[in-house]
Amino acid sequence: MDATAKSMLENLRAKRYEPVYVLQGEEPYYIDLISSYIESNVLSESEKSFNQVVLYGKDAPVNVILTNAKRFPMMAERQVVIVREAQDIPDLQKEAGAKLLLDYVTKPVPSTVLVLCHKHKTLDKRKELGKKLDKLPGAATFKKIYDNQLPDFILSYVKDKGYKMDGEAVQVLAECVGTDLNRVANEIDKILISTDKGEMITSAKVMAQVGMSREYNIFELQKALIQKDAFKLAKMIQYFEGNVKKNPVIPMVAYLFSFFSKVLAAHGAVDKSERGLVSALKINPFAAKDYSYALQRFSLQQVIRNISLLKNADLKLKGVNAGSEDESQILKELIFQLIV
């Protein structure tokens, strides 16, 4: 978990509240996590009716937000005002609106917890508003995580829920879902529903959850290519030909293009150890073995040739110089050219 988010949640659980929270950045997961905790836990259910307000930025200019923030709580110690999609506040970037908000955060109402959820971007820190809000005790900026940081997030999330996941399962989930943390958390939650406490979550269970074949998928295809296992590749191609809707060829080619592009970068890395490749390629540690093995199996010239083959296949699949070949024929020809 992000260190700032963890610290904020610890303070909230200890009932140490800030009068103003400014949650911003490209990663919405932590913004949602913190604001949801505040919405669910700062007030009791009986207090929420009169003392909790949820606004949406596009419908709430700064003066409307502050009118709510300056009210005093009714039959409660404090009130909560949450502004979702604060990046859409119509006058937030205008001088008048910025001045109103600056005046308020300089002397906020102590009995109000005001939460601004500014998603997908940050306030301009070159301007006074951005600078001042960023220095508040309740301010936090959350950046998108890198691929090589994702396994730690997955393992931490699973552990916090009281479960365990093996390394291959972590790799499959990371490669399949990507760095959208809301989606990652959602997929894990779905897996946990059918998992007993103490049961190890395997790659088979992950692949079943995300709708992939347990035997043949892009990850297995990549491993077979690295091993240059012609027999297994032939079986896979036959499977893909019969399941084109579940395994569209263009995304497969794009995935392999990304893989060989990283292998090309690996050839140029100063430190070619697994740890060195994780740092140089920004990949998750569980994938490092594949890249290390690929370096041994594919020379620099072969990698450059494979990237060219994948580029040409992509063009054919999109109708450029395709001739009479269909998707299955293009894929079959491509796969066996890649291992030559």
Cite the beta strand spans of the chain per DSSP E.
Answer: 20-25, 52-56, 79-84, 112-119, 139-142, 164-165, 200-201
Q: What is the pTM of this model?
A: 0.68
**At residue 28, does pLDDT exceed 50?**
yes
Q: From CA 148, how far away is CA 150, in angstroms rounded?
A: 6
Neighbours of 131 (CB within 10 A): 13
Range with the poorest average pLDDT among 38-52, 204-218, 228-242: 204-218
68-114 pLDDT, tens digit per residue, is 999 999 999 999 999 999 999 999 999 999 999 999 999 999 999 99
Burial of 198 (0-12, 13-18, 19+ CB in 10 A): exposed
Q: Could you tell me the pLDDT band of residue 206, with boundaries at 50, 70 and 90?
A: confident
Neighbours of 260 (CB within 10 A): 24
Residue 171's pLDDT is 83
Residue 321's pLDDT is 73
**CATH of segment(s) 3-142:** 3.40.50.300
Residue 174's pLDDT is 83
Q: From CA 126, how far away is CA 133, in angstroms rounded?
A: 12
Q: Could you tell me the pLDDT band of residue 213, with boundaries at 50, 70 and 90?
A: very low
Q: From CA 42, how far away is CA 36, in angstroms rounded?
A: 10
CA-wise closest residue to 164 among 174, 173, 176, 154: 154
**CATH of segment(s) 218-338:** 1.20.272.10
Token output for 100:
């109103």
More confident residue, 246 or 70: 70
| Cα-Cα-Cα-Cα dihedral sign, residues 230, 236, 239, 245 | negative
Give percent helix, percent strand, percent coil of the chain, each to the nearest 5.
60, 10, 30
Angle of CA points 284, 285, 290, to nearest 5°: 95
What mean pLDDT comes out for the span 252-266?
93
CA-wise closest residue to 145 among 156, 137, 153: 153
283 φ/ψ sector (left φ>0, alpha ψ -120 to 50, else beta): beta
What is the rounded average pLDDT for all residues in the chain? Answer: 91
Residue 215's pLDDT is 53
Q: Tell me if the domain spanning 147-209 has CATH number 1.20.1290.10.
A: no
Domain boundaries, the chain: 3-142, 147-209, 218-338
Q: From CA 192, how far away is CA 263, in angstroms rounded?
A: 34
Q: From CA 101, how far away is CA 95, in angstroms rounded?
A: 10
Q: Could you tell me the pLDDT band of residue 153, with boundaries at 50, 70 and 90?
A: very high
Q: Could you tell me the pLDDT band of residue 247, with boundaries at 50, 70 and 90?
A: confident
Residue 212's pLDDT is 53
Query: Percent of the chain having pLDDT more than 70?
Result: 98
